[in-house]
Amino acid sequence: MSWSKLKQQLEGFLSPALNGRVEYRAPGYRYLPDKSGICYITVDKKNILNMSDKTSSIRWYQTELEVKNDPDIQIPINNDNIEAVRKDTKGPVPEDRLKVMARNRRTTEYAKELLSAQASLSKSNFIVVANKFLSTSVEESIESNDILLNILALVDRRVGKKRILNMSEKMKLKHPIVQYFYELRRNTL
């Protein structure tokens, strides 16, 4: 599919409140088989996403330690997480210490998922991911670990107000760029 047709389809799925604000741009129109498709997502004419661009205002993590030390990341834990730690320790451990251990375990898991998603985004071919988005359901795109699929789904008109408001807890565990687009969409409701 040509870039202009793909862009037209993607922008046709944009939420009416974001129409004209969010744009998809490709700096080069010539496709080279050995190069991945480079694309930018702009909001209000400002380049927001350029596949792992370190100069953007969005936080890109380099190491697991950076994720763990970021005060903005709040990892929720539940009783299942605490019970799993209790089972693994096989001994009397104070309740407050179990909570700390469960939170550390969840933070490590989250950091690994986040870094893996970032790595796949930097290697991703925007055109391939956009075609995948157009051929799969919005639900699959939202639940996906692919950052780009999450973003495309969040700005989609098929995702309604109620669903956007109900996913606030889930968005806390997503990459900062996905959280940015979630807040953008939520603020237009």
Give tens-digit pLDDT for 2-56: 778 988 999 999 999 999 999 988 765 455 555 545 667 899 988 888 764 555 5
162 pLDDT exceeds 80? yes
**Banded model confidence at residue 111, pLDDT cuts 50, 70, 90:** confident
Q: Contact at 8 Å (CB) between 145 and 110?
A: no
pTM, entire model: 0.75
pLDDT at 115: 82
Where are the domains positioned within the chain?
A: 3-61+117-186, 69-114
Per the prediction, the chain carries an average pLDDT of 84
